[in-house]
Amino acid sequence: MQTALRTSLPEIEPAGRANFVPHARVAREERPVHVSGLPLGIRGLRKSFGDNEVLRGIDLHIPAGQFVAIVGKSGCGKSTLLRLVAGLEKIDAGSISLGDEVQAEDIRVMFQEPRLLPWARVLSNVEVGLGRDRASDDAHARAEEALTEVGLADKRDQWPSVLSGGQKQRVALARALVSRPRVLAFDEPLGALDALTRISMQRLLERVWRDQGFTAILVTHDVSEAVALADRVLVIEEGRIAHDVLVNAARPRARGSVELTGLEGSILSHLLSADDRT
């Protein structure tokens, strides 16, 4: 895994980074308390599956600790972009850079499915997230701490099958957090949850992001979720970043505020107008 990751993440010269998407600067009060995240630089990224050209040149700079949401029509390549960043697919052309000393444990992905091991208790599922540190003495303690963070300390000895969908996803979040990752990629992690659970999970995501200061990349099909959580919303169309929208609203954000709803409306109209053209 480590070697695979390294090979798919070629270096990028740091000089060019500052010139990337210059408006991606964020108001001070929105930053997490401590920034532990890695900056992410993507240049000329392309990816095809056979004849299907999915990503046709993505250029993007994400500053350390930023919370970015990616929206776009289904099948536009959001998951592919995320999988490339996480090193799960091979890059066709271009580069992705996450700084010099990136380790496998620094990047974590959370999917729509919790992907818990049904035959392992909740605590050992979280321990899986420690990667190479799984066998260390403090593995238990660290896993318990992560479980406490997502509010499931009392479920440590349960089988995953007895948990609700939202609880499973929280265990998956604890597993992703336990190695203190510096980039966390979410692929529609709340897509399968009911509306109320979604909202409480959104709060949880925002809280752990503020506490830990990782760089967050959230793929979602829910534009209101994107504007509620993210510093910045990217709209992908035809394999490129078609819109790059800053969300300057102060946190904690009031859902349904005029500002957020206005932004949501304009992003939605972008998405819909693209629909009309095709």
Which of residues 146 and 245 has its CB atom nearest to ligand ADP in the complex? 245
Cα 263 to the center of its chain, rounded Å: 21
Which of 21, 35, 128, 242: binder of other proteins (CB under 8 A)? 128
79 forms part of the interface with Mg ion (CB under 5 A)? yes
- Min separation Cβ 73 and ligand ADP, Å: 7
Which of residues 102 and 193 has its CB atom nearest to Mg ion in the complex? 193
Only segment of 68-76, 91-99, 102-110, 132-140 that touches ligand ADP (CB under 6 A): 68-76
Judged by CB under 8 A, the number of residues near other proteins is 23
Only segment of 72-80, 176-184, 192-200, 248-256 that touches ligand ADP (CB under 6 A): 72-80
Whole-angstrom Cα distance, residue 172 to residue 168?
6
Which of residues 104 and 217 has its CB atom nearest to other proteins in the complex? 104
76 forms part of the interface with ligand ADP (CB under 6 A)? yes
Binding at 47: pick from other proteins, ligand ADP, Mg ion, none (beta carbon under 5-8 Å per type): none
192 forms part of the interface with other proteins (CB under 8 A)? no
Q: Which of 236, 245, 243, 244 lies closest to 263 in space, CA to CA?
A: 245
Which of 11, 119, 154, 272: binder of other proteins (CB under 8 A)? 119
Which of 41, 77, 129, 239: binder of ligand ADP (CB under 6 A)? 77
Only segment of 108-116, 200-208, 231-239, 253-261 that touches other proteins (CB under 8 A): 108-116
**Footprint (CB under 8 A) of other proteins, residues 86-105:** 86, 88, 104-105
DSSP assignment string, the chain: -HHHHHHHS----GGGGGGSSTT----GGGS-SS-----EEEEEEEEEETTEEEEEEEEEEE-TT-EEEEEESTTSSHHHHHHHHTTSS--SEEEEE--TT--GGGEEEE-SS----TTS-HHHHHHHTTGGGGGSTTHHHHHHHHHHHTT-GGGTTS-GGGS-HHHHHHHHHHHHHTT--SEEEEESTTTTS-HHHHHHHHHHHHHHHHHH--EEEEE-S-HHHHHHH-SEEEEEETTEEEEEEE--PPSSP-TT-HHHHHHHHHHHHHHHHHHHH-
Whole-angstrom Cα distance, residue 178 to residue 105?
9
Which of residues 167 and 224 has its CB atom nearest to other proteins in the complex? 167
Q: Which residues bind other proteins (CB under 8 A)?
A: 1-2, 86, 88, 104-105, 108-109, 111, 113, 115, 117-120, 128-129, 131-132, 159, 161-162, 175
The residues that touch Mg ion, with contacts defined as CB under 5 A, are: 79
Q: Which spans of this chain sit near ligand ADP (rule: CB under 6 A)?
A: 49, 52, 54, 72, 74-80
